A and B are shown apart, each in its own frame.
Chain A
């Protein structure tokens, strides 16, 4: 029997089946992310990528109807959103909401009470000038993505999910954001010292040139269809779209 604690498994998803409002959006997904690993999930719009990360985070409308999510050896299905976050799971939302009346500075101070640290984090994300502004109110798409990373820096999770971190971000900001994602994933540390891990959801894959991942997946219609070396998966998606993966999956299903 494999003991996931000993083997350094950070997160394990077993036969995960998720419904939102009675509609099944994810079916029987399996995935194992070890400490220090980064996994990449590709898929067309509406395929279930966001459902996967939101269900792991524990957003209440995402109901796990089958399967399990195991974080550092413990099933977390009964854990509240807060407990998951406090235990070291973090998510950069694809579409973060606006939080009217709450300034970014106040939110940051609530996440990291130490003012010096929160100021340093804001400087690192080049968002010192945003601290007085209400969270995400009037932010451009790119600013919202940057704000997500800023909040994750403050939260400092061990298992972190980035949902389309690069969409809508301009070329100048990409470099900064890649740097922050690398830092959160401890990419600058020697491999053996890396304890953090995570999932990057993307449908472009450009980000992979800067952030090397260990494994790639394609999700279509809520099912995890192909997996393999991320750049190979990306090449396949780039050259043939998601069709080839769907075809391969259908064939393997037929051959049994």
Chain B
């Protein structure tokens, strides 16, 4: 299925979405693409037989069972944003479906783009990986060059069936007055793996996100976030791991640098099943007195055989390291940028190589624009 009606004057801006991992030039191998510009699906394409990509509205017509998935793991009455999504008459969003046993090698890319100033984008996305399938998704969310004001509200429900493996990477590059409220949940079935990477390195007005992973027997979830809050941004980010099955495990790792911004990092792990393991780790780097970093780790054990732990640290740039670099002739600004870059890059060591390179570049650019 292919829907392509890209407006000419949009082309240039869309080409620039490369910055959030959305390749329109065919430079990197992709198994498929999905692009929503404001409320229009401007691209929906799969290059793989076993990967189904279509707008959610189409999917509801094609697959009877699709409607049963809507609001099955995200509560429609959770808050005003989920209610807003639930009240939409015409659904906008992506439907991504990998068939049983299919191992899709090239990443699938999706992008949610705000092009019109002040637009309120409301989405509902569904992702299903049938048993023993594999998919690597790169999702970029961005605003156009001239857009600062906008809203992005999205419910995303992911179903990683038995033995399947989903890697989900999200790169955010919003405008300075954009508000972003994603509401996501993932059902990680028996023996399945869910790896989430979240990268946000540019200014935004407010983001609030706290996805939940529900884990069955031997399921595994890992949330890895790298955030550089700057210039009045407000981040309230987190992840929740509900370890229901036996031998399930969850890890929530965050790294955040904050300059003139407020960042709250939440991590919640609940150990209900036997022999479950959970760990959260948060490292904060505070760059000035106008900023704050709040780490809120929360652990709940309801089974005697669960093992949960958390680590959190918040600090500043070490004077010793700064002096060391300056003694090699680096000016203070360059030395600081290098240390911020180093701090954030520690967080991407677990990414797949192609993505690591991309993240590396993004971090380099974000850190080098650091002003002392």
| A58 to B330 alpha-carbon distance, docked (Å) | 14
Segment touching A, from B75-83, B139-147, B336-344: B336-344
- Asked if B332 contacts A100 (CB within 8 A), the reply is no
Residue of B nearest to A96 (CB): B324
| A155 to B327 alpha-carbon distance, docked (Å) | 10
- Asked if B339 contacts A102 (CB within 8 A), the reply is yes
Contact indicator per residue, chain B 340-352, by CB within 8 Å of chain A (1) or not (0): 0111111000000
- Asked if B326 contacts A80 (CB within 8 A), the reply is yes
- Asked if A134 contacts B342 (CB within 8 A), the reply is yes
Distance (Å) between the CB of B323 and the closest chain A CB?
Answer: 6
- Asked if B338 contacts A110 (CB within 8 A), the reply is yes
| A107 to B328 alpha-carbon distance, docked (Å) | 9
Residue of A nearest to B331 (CB): A82
Q: A97-B320, A101-B346 are in contact. Are A106 and B338 (CB under 8 A)?
A: yes
In the complex, A111 has a CB within 8 A of chain B: yes
Q: Which of A73-87 contact B (CB under 8 A)?
A: 80-82, 84-86
Contacts of B344 in A (CB 8 A): 101
| A58 to B328 alpha-carbon distance, docked (Å) | 12
Contacts of A96 in B (CB 8 A): 324
- Chain B interface mostly: helix
Q: Which of A107-135 contact B (CB under 8 A)?
A: 107, 110-111, 134
- Asked if B341 contacts A111 (CB within 8 A), the reply is no
Q: Which of A50-73 contact B (CB under 8 A)?
A: 57-60
- Asked if A102 contacts B328 (CB within 8 A), the reply is no
- Asked if A85 contacts B343 (CB within 8 A), the reply is no
- Asked if B323 contacts A100 (CB within 8 A), the reply is no
Distance (Å) between the CB of B26 and the closest chain A CB?
Answer: 29
What is the size category of the interface that chain A forms with chain B? Answer: 20 to 34
- Asked if A101 contacts B318 (CB within 8 A), the reply is no
In the complex, B325 has a CB within 8 A of chain A: yes
- Asked if A85 contacts B345 (CB within 8 A), the reply is no
| A145 to B33 alpha-carbon distance, docked (Å) | 51
| A82 to B338 alpha-carbon distance, docked (Å) | 15
Distance (Å) between the CB of A114 and the closest chain B CB?
Answer: 15
In the complex, B72 has a CB within 8 A of chain A: no
In the complex, B353 has a CB within 8 A of chain A: no
In the complex, B254 has a CB within 8 A of chain A: no
Residue of B nearest to A97 (CB): B320
- Asked if A151 contacts B339 (CB within 8 A), the reply is no
In the complex, B156 has a CB within 8 A of chain A: no
- Asked if B327 contacts A57 (CB within 8 A), the reply is yes
Contacts of B332 in A (CB 8 A): 82
- Asked if A97 contacts B318 (CB within 8 A), the reply is yes
* Residue of A82, A93, A111 contacting most chain B CB atoms (<10 Å): A82
Residue of A nearest to B348 (CB): A101
In the complex, A176 has a CB within 8 A of chain B: no
- Asked if B343 contacts A99 (CB within 8 A), the reply is no
Per CB-CB distance, the 4 closest pairs between chain A and chain B, nearest first, are: A101-B342, A102-B342, A85-B329, A81-B326
Chain B residues proximal to chain A, CB less than 8 Å: 318-321, 323-332, 334, 338-339, 341-346
Name 29 A/B residue pairs within 8 A (Cβ), A-sorted. Answer: A57-B327, A60-B323, A81-B326, A82-B330, A82-B331, A82-B332, A85-B326, A86-B329, A91-B327, A96-B324, A99-B321, A99-B324, A101-B342, A101-B343, A101-B344, A101-B345, A102-B338, A102-B341, A102-B342, A106-B341, A107-B328, A107-B338, A110-B328, A110-B338, A134-B342, A151-B328, A154-B328, A155-B328, A155-B329
Chain A residues proximal to chain B, CB less than 8 Å: 57-60, 80-82, 84-86, 90-91, 93, 96-97, 99-102, 106-107, 110-111, 134, 151, 154-155
